[in-house]
Every structure is written in structure tokens, then in C-alpha cells.
Structure 1
Amino acid sequence: MTGRRGFLAGLLATGLAPAPTWADAGSPSYLSAAARPDGRFVLCGIDATLAVAFQIPLPDRGHAAAAHPTRPEAVAFARRPGTFAVVIDCATGTEQTVLQAPRGRHFYGHGAYSQDGRLLFTTENDFEAGRGVVGLWDAARGYARVGEWDSGGIGPHDIKRCPGSDALVVANGGIDTHPDTGRTKLNIPTMRPNLSYLDDGAVIEQIDLPRDMHKNSIRHLAVAPDGTVAFGMQWQGHGPAPALVGLHRFGQEVALMASDPDNLRDMQGYIGSIAIAADGESIAVTSPRGGLVQVFHDGRLQRAHEVADVCGVAAMGDGFALTSGIGTLAQLHGTALRVSTPARLRWDNHLIGL
């Protein structure tokens, strides 16, 4: 470790440095896991111009990350059914600790912090019991495991904190899996996805899809400042998907985004990531299988753009930043898509806004 990071690490060791902030990590706007050309895996910070601010080694392939709300600290999660999560000091580039899923569990690749950053919440599979779990880790005590809650369903994937509170919304995908069978889906005929809202471990609201959509796995979430939850789905049924994007407000009914059959078919039944623009007006969803980004406005599909192997998406002002598995970094504003020269990194599934 050399230069500014080494100097900062020395100050921190002596206790002379002020509490570090994300500015000490190069002021990244986004986090993403990636694979390097040499086959090694890293967690990257990406700045507002989509330049890579840092690369920090990971022990294996990552999926998504959670960013601490105040200090330059991130947790990088293994891809399902991984059992590790790495806590990283992004200012010094050092590994703080490695979380191991409890015996009989694996992570689903996503997590979220409490408002004050004291607790980390992780989505997990209790695979012998076939139930979803939200794990609780105390960041103030070295990420000690301090408890767990029932997620409200099977196969919890994404998890977000609701604005202005410590209530959580969980995407229970409904799909039962077991490490002995890898990523094989064990209960497609009987799967029942839902959105579950949790407050201090209690399910305070739960939203099921219509019965004829019970094979539409709710996977990824984005939450607007007003609490609107956008969710992306992955269709496990035969034939075309009936819908792939929905909206929900606590206490209200689900609204499914309208799209004609051709546009639905183009996404190949698979939403890889979802984001809401900063103005709350537009929703972008990606499909690496279809090589498409679709943007919805006022409940309907507004436009689509081709980006090969695109998956990561996050708000960039009133538009969106995008990443792909072939190294693409892109900006989408209105109808204008600006694609950069592919980086020497293969971006993983998610782009996490800070």
C-alpha cells in the first residue's frame, strides 16, 4: 500500500486522523464487483464520471455490495450459494473481517445497513428447513452475529431499507434451493414469491402476486425517497412472461408495468437489476439475457436500448449508469445512450449507488 492510502492508514493507526469519510476512498459514486483479466476478483469503486476509483481484492466472485451510510466501509457478498461476505475499509483498501454464514445457511448476495450503520441485515437461506432468513450483524462489535429474523418467505434475494426508518422490504423470490443440488430450483410448481415488509423482525405487510403469476420470482428491488418500491422479476413458467416489472407503496395495491408482448419477449423472462432515477419519475431494468435496458415512465414502457450483457444499473441524476459483463460502462440520459470503451474488467451483476 503506497501513496495517499498508506499515509491515511498510518494516521489511523496512530489515532491522529479524523474519522474517515467516503471522500477518503476517492469519493466513489458506485460500487461493483468485477473480474480482472488475470482471473482475480475485486470490489471496485466507480466515480461520478464512471472512472474506476479503486480496486480491492475479493477471495472469490462477488455479487452485490452494501455501503455503510457514513464511513467508507463496504460489505461485498459472494454469489449465491456463497457463504462469505467481506467487510472492506475502502479508504485504506484493507480487509476488516470476513463474515461466514452460520452452519446450514448461505447468503443470497445482498444486504442493507440500518439508518445509523450499526446493524447489517443479510438475506440468507436456511436450506434444510427451506425457509428464508434475515441475518443481523453488529457492525459496532466487529460484525458479530446477534440474531436473525424470518424473511417472510422462501428464497429472499434482495433487501432494502425503507427511507427514514429501519423497516426493511425483502424480495422473497419463492424458489427453494439446496447447496447439494447447486443452483437447481426445487419447487417451481408450488413456488409463491412475495414482497415482505419487516419492522423489528415482524412482518408488517406482505404482498403476493396474482395466482396466475406465482411462477414470477421477485428478485431485485429499488426504493425511491418517497418509499415507492420498484421490483424486477424472473419468469419461471412456460411461454411468455405476463409482466416483469412492478411497483408498490406500503398499504396499497401492486401496480404492474405495462409492456407489449414483443418487448416482454425481448427481455427473455429475466430482469437482472432495477433502479429508480433520482427524480423518481423513471425506472430502468436490465436483462443480460436479452442484452437490453428498458425504461418505464408513468407505468408504461417508454424506450429500450441494446447493451450487450448489460446487468448493473443505478441512478445517475435523472438518468442511469450501466455496467455489463463484457466491461461496458455507460450513461443513459433521456434517449441518449453514451457507451464508454470497454474496461479491462468484467462487471458482475449489480451496480450499487452510494
Structure 2
Amino acid sequence: MTTSNPKSVEAIIWRDGRLLLLDQRILPEQEVYLTYDSAEGVAGAIKDMVVRGAPAIGISAAYGVVLAARACFAADGDQWKTTIADKIQVLADSRPTAVNLFWALDNMQKAINHLSDQNDPEAVLLVEAIRIHESDIAANRTMGEFGAEIIAQSNDAGRSVMTHCNTGALATGGVGTALGVIRTAFEKGYIDHVHADETRPWFQGSRLTAWELMREGIPVSLNVEGAAAHVMRTQDISWVIVGADRITANGDVANKIGTYNLAVLAMHHGVRFMVVAPTSTIDMSLACGEDIVIEERDPEEVVCYKGLRVAPEGVEVFNPVFDVTPADLIDVIVTEKGIVERPDAEKMRALMSKDRLH
């Protein structure tokens, strides 16, 4: 499978019955694909950040179910539906916040429910996993067009945008969510420059976003998160454009830690704030952001970098991976079904009631 942009890297490849994932922990120094042939291996890759970004996690998990089906049918025959449940649970437990993971697994479970116990499930489930992958590629293209058009309409604003973490080809099946909008807007001549937050503690902005943009010839400046307010005050910033790991029924958004900070700063400086995410990221079962489980990760991610300790021994660490941006700080949510300006519960319900792209 390939993305729509030949310059865009592929983070997820299904080839010869195995899943290949670009190891994002060692970018940009090395471009290495790791090969997986079990659901447990895929779950480990998700947990260990080999693959990251909500859409990419969901796609990888879908392929993980295909691998699980192969193993279960080979080992258990017509009892495969019973034993595959445990492997799907292992995938579900790999990351708690990104709702795309559970959306993809739910779609794979629905496909399983329609299968006979006696028939080999691999081929049918592979079709569903590929459908999930290809639908994300298409959604990326559509969101890119929608978001770029919004930027074009704000013709009184600056020619630069700011983004946070990585929301490009590395985080999705296609050209990206927020970075897909940025790519499209640059191609159409609506923006000239991107300011990328470095994004501690995994440095996704510096290692991944800056790398993606530079390889495509899109001008980018890297800044530490502490410089964001200064950049907004002194540079030609029109929009902050970010992705999402989960969006609740009222339009609250969970995204990489530091996103909430940017939304507050954007409102103060008169900079507009755009969230770009497929509808698979929207969780209508949660009323508001307070209902989202916020993942906390190993303190070592904060006190060490590439094995080098940068904090004193024994220091207490609080390492939440995500924060929640309230809907009232968001100017627009862009999805493949359409856009929601100044999101609230009523507007989110109207969006999710659409059964086709608009």
C-alpha cells in the first residue's frame, strides 16, 4: 500500500503476510522497519512507541487481529473464535487513551462475528484491515482539503502556522491529519512556514515532524515548547493546527501533552486553533473531557534521554502523555465528514449523524 504523496514515508506496510512498522523511536538517525507476525508483537510495538499516533495505532491493531486469526485458526481450528478474544484484549490493553485503537478492534470484531467457526478467517479479516487502512488514507486527503480551505478563507491572518507533536504520515495511514492540512495548504500557496514544537519527552516534533516537513521541502522552524507564547506574539502565526487522540461528545479534545497550553496561548494572542482528526477519533460515549482516561508513562522518559540522565536521582516525576483541551478554546474541528466550528454537544451530534462525506 502507498500513500497519495510519493514523498511521504509509509509507517505501516503489510507485505507477504506480515506487518512492517517503521521504528519511530530511532528516527531521524535511522530508518528501520521491524517485522511482526503475531498480535502480541504488534501490541508490544504499540506500547513501546515503535508505532504511534492514534490513526496509525488503530490500523496496526487491525493488522494485529489478522495475525491473531492466523495463529488461532492454525492452533485451535473451529475453536479459533474463543481463543482470539484473549489476543484482541492484549491489543486493546496496549494504549488506553487513543480511541482509534478501540474503534479499529470493534470493526474487526464485527467482521469476526459474521464468520463461520469452520472457515479460515485470515483472508476475510485482511480485507477488513486493508479497508480500515485505505479509509484512513482517503480521510487524510479529505481533511487536508477541508482544513486548507478554512485557512484560505482566513485571508486576513498570518502566513505561518504552528503545530504540536507529529500528525503526519508517521502517525496515520496517509499524509496525516493536522500535517495533512498543513501539506495541502502549503501546496495551494496558503501558508509559507511551519513552527513545530519539539514535543517533550519523546521529541516527536523535532525528530518526526521536522524530518517529514524537511524531506518534502516545506519550510519549518523548530522551537522548544517554552517559546510558543513568544513565537505567537512575534511571528506571523495564523493558526495552531493539531491532531487528537480522543474527542468527546461535547467537543473536548485529548491530545499530546502540551496541546492545552497552546490553546490557552492561542486564545490570548488571537491565533485560531484547529483540531484535525477522523471521526474514528470521536467517542460519543464520553460526555466530556473529564471522562477520558489519561495515560501516564514511565518516569524514565522524563529523567533520561537516550540513556543519559538529565534529572537528579530520586526526583518525583509526573508524566501524563495527554491533556484535554476544552471545546470552548477550539475554533474548528476538521473531520472527513465535515467541519465543526466552535464545537459543542449539539454540533458534534449533527456531525456524527452524517452517513457520508460532505
TM superposition score normalised by structure 1: 0.25
Greater helix share, structure number? 2
Greater strand share, structure number? 1
Q: Specify which structure has the bigger relative contact order, considering alpha-carbon pairs within 8 angstroms and separated by 6 or more residues.
A: 2
TM superposition score normalised by structure 2: 0.24
